[in-house]
Amino acid sequence: MDKSIALVTGANKGIGKEIARQLADAGHTVYLGSRELSRGERAAEEIGGDTRALQIDVTDQRSVEDAAGQVPALDILVNNAGISGDGKTPDLEDLDTVRRIFETNVFGVFAVTNAFLPALRRSAHPRIVNISSGTGSMAASAGQVTGVMASPTPSGRFAAYRSSKTALNELTLLYAITLADEGFKVNALAPGARRTDLNANVATAGGDPAEGAAGAVRLALLPDDAPTGQFLSWDGTVVPW
Ligand code: NAP
């Protein structure tokens, strides 16, 4: 694809920052979504290229609409912003925590996607990449997946986070079906366990965030004849829903 305009939510650190870096390095214009503008500005300065910080808190409808008003044209939306929670099984989950996680990981994706759809509809090659998680795979939870995508937590733990990513997967599929005739490619990525602030469990043992980010960039730059409505691992293999 030619030079594209991309927005990555939660781009001031972690996997999102690496997605932004790789897109900028490839010559694309990148809006670095950041709920704290100064953090986005710092990341944009560090990455360089054609990067611009954009204040966007995905849980704040006003912030989302203000951000959309500043981006009239968009080719790539990466819904990356996400939070994890405390690892509890569903019987012990506190509903306020569950709501907070769904507010960011699910409702935030609805809000941002719908707000930026008019700009994406002006693109000749619109792409949406939802950063999900292998832990959101129901097949993995049911023990039906072997190998690297086998559930790393074969229990009911991280119930709020994992069910939010399951919901995000379904949302990916529903957007993909809805927008297919308009040329959109809407796919979900399992970036793999990465060393970021998100999850203390993988803070030391996880892989390089840049490797997971590369999987998102591949989906962001899919050619027109590529499939839509897929759940893919960072290495391009299909993850069972
Ligand atoms: P991270 O380093 O904690 O980064 C998360 C990013 O999301 C930060 O920029 C954070 O901003 C932002 N964010 C959180 N809530 C937000 C909100 N309401 N509005 C806007 N931005 C918000 O975590 P990460 O590991 O890179 O996670 C990125 C994505 O990958 C998430 O969707 C996560 O579920 C997914 N994922 C990660 C792993 C892993 O092992 N790391 C595995 C599977 C999936 P602040 O700096 O302001 O907090």
Cα 14 to middle of ligand 1, angstroms? 7
What's the whole-number average pLDDT of the chain? 94
pLDDT value of residue 86: 85
Q: Using 50, 70 and 90 to split pLDDT, how confident is the model at 221?
A: very high
For the CA of 165, the nearest atom of ligand 1: 34
**What are the structure tokens assigned to 80, written together?**
């990356």
For residue 18, pLDDT over 70 is answered with yes
Considering the domain boundaries, does residue 239 fall inside one? no
Considering the domain boundaries, does residue 74 fall inside one? yes
The CATH number of the domain where 197 resides is what?
3.40.50.720
Cα 184 to middle of ligand 1, angstroms? 24
Q: Taking a C-beta distance cutoff of 8 angstroms, is the pair 121, 182 a contact?
A: yes
Task: Give the contacts of 104 (CB within 8 A, at least 6 positions apart).
Answer: 58, 59, 81, 82, 83
Q: What is the mean pLDDT of the segment spanning 61-73? A: 97
Considering the domain boundaries, does residue 241 fall inside one? no
φ and ψ of 127, to 5 deg: -135, 135
pLDDT value of residue 182: 98
Considering the domain boundaries, does residue 111 fall inside one? yes
Considering the domain boundaries, does residue 240 fall inside one? no
Query: What percent of the chain has pLDDT above 70?
Result: 94
Cα 105 to middle of ligand 1, angstroms? 9
Q: Using 50, 70 and 90 to split pLDDT, how confident is the model at 202?
A: low
Q: Using 50, 70 and 90 to split pLDDT, how confident is the model at 206?
A: confident
Write down the residue that tokens 């214009």 correspond to: 29
Considering the domain boundaries, does residue 188 fall inside one? yes
Q: Taking a C-beta distance cutoff of 8 angstroms, is the pair 30, 52 a contact?
A: yes
Closest Cα to residue 89, out of 161, 18, 147, 171? 161
- Measured from CB, residues less than 6 Å from any atom of ligand 1 are 9-10, 12-16, 35-36, 39, 56-59, 80-83, 104, 108, 131, 133, 191, 193-194, 196-199, 202, 206
Residues labelled as active-site residues: 161, 165
pLDDT value of residue 104: 98
For residue 159, pLDDT over 70 is answered with yes
Q: Taking a C-beta distance cutoff of 8 angstroms, is the pair 160, 209 a contact?
A: no
Considering the domain boundaries, does residue 26 fall inside one? yes
Task: Give the contacts of 122 (CB within 8 A, at least 6 positions apart).
Answer: 72, 73, 74
CA distance 44 to 39: 9
Q: Which of 17, 34, 35 to mutate to test the pocket of ligand 1 (most atoms within 8 A of CB)?
A: 35
Q: What is the mean pLDDT of the segment spanning 189-193? A: 94
99-102 own/partner pairs: CB under 8 Å, 24+ apart: 101/160, 101/161, 101/164, 102/160, 102/164, 102/167
Q: Using 50, 70 and 90 to split pLDDT, how confident is the model at 220?
A: very high
φ and ψ of 21, to 5 deg: -60, -45
Global pTM reads 0.97
Range of the domain at 118: 5-233
Considering the domain boundaries, does residue 90 fall inside one? yes
What is the domain count for the chain?
Answer: 1
Give the length of the chain.
241
Closest Cα to residue 78, out of 232, 234, 213? 213
For the CA of 15, the nearest atom of ligand 1: 26
Cα 10 to middle of ligand 1, angstroms? 6
